[in-house]
Amino acid sequence: MNESVAVRAESQAGGWLVEVEVADEGDRTHHRVTVAPAEVARWARGSSGSDVEDLVRRSFEFLLEREPASSILREFDLAVTMDSDIVAPILVVDDDPKIVSLVKTYLEREGFRVITAGEGRAALQAFNEFHPRLIVLDLMLPELDGLALMRIIRERSSVPIVMLSARGAVADRVYGIHEGADDYLAKPFSPAELIVRVKAVLRRSSESNGAHTARGVLEHIDLLIDLDRVEVRQAGAALSLTPAEFRLLVALVQARGRVLTRQALLDSLYGHSQGDALERTVDVHIGRLRDKLGEEIGAPRYIITVRGLGYRAVA
């Protein structure tokens, strides 16, 4: 390990404010990050009497033996924005109390604040009241089903939605994505995989919202794409795009006319870790994006299909 770790801890009413600075002696770079109080509490569990600064320092040194500093600190930079004391909760919606309890337990272990609902109308009320940062949504719900609920939410918000369903067929997964889900996980599912997917969706949402660095504006034909505000205007009129549609449009425009394969576009949506994602998902998102852009069949203005390969932006 070439990195040296410096830690400053300050006691606060809600716990500890901990800042970590990692200096890489090899390339003379410095990284500074604030560690979320929930993460400090998780490390400190069962280690009464330990000095907090020493505890965090040793924990970071352990992690740095296994991963580069930039990768680790990016995770913690995201984690502090997720801390349960300062951000909106995750809403878990399922009519099976056992599944709700399981998902809630795993999310809370990761430091998330969680609220739950057992049916669609209660979930809509919770959405309006708490403004969650992400929704884990079951498809089969009493009174107001998951798809109907998602359509209502999509009219008001682009909040990330991870859908759970016993319907695991390709057509069902594609339909769920088409209706507005950001990810889809078939039951029975691994709670650990759900946590990975939730974190991935939140990371992409955070990056799309310009949480790290200012990125500027892209212009393409009559489109103005603000990367920091996550806004798209077409001839001056605002377009309402989901996070997935926004990322696909950005990827195509940034490619400047180069053909992007479906796998490359999947990577822009889910990252390289989501290799099992369906390529058909890209077609669904592209179709919805074209509808919102007002493209006509046979006369593309913005996106061209390259048969057998993928898509490219009109040059």
Q: Which residues of the chain have pLDDT under 70?
A: 1-53, 55-57, 59-87, 168, 206-215, 270-279
**Domains of the chain, CATH where assigned:** 3-81 (no CATH), 90-208 (3.40.50.2300), 217-313 (1.10.10.10)
> Token digits for 130?
């708490």
pLDDT of residue 47: 46
Q: What is the pTM (predicted TM-score) of this model?
A: 0.49
> Token digits for 71?
């990768």
pLDDT of residue 80: 41
pLDDT of residue 301: 87
First to last CA, the chain: 46
pLDDT of residue 147: 87
pLDDT of residue 278: 60
**Positive or negative torsion for Cα 192, 193, 196, 199:** negative
pLDDT of residue 241: 84
- Alpha carbon distance 211, 232 (integer Å): 18
**Positive or negative torsion for Cα 170, 176, 182, 186:** negative
Question: Pairing mode, if any, of strands 90-93 and 29-35?
Answer: unpaired
Look at phi and psi of residue 16 and say left if phi exceeds 0, alpha if psi is from -120 to 50, else beta: beta
Alpha helices in the chain (DSSP H): 37-44, 52-64, 69-81, 97-109, 120-130, 146-156, 170-178, 191-208, 243-254, 262-270, 279-293
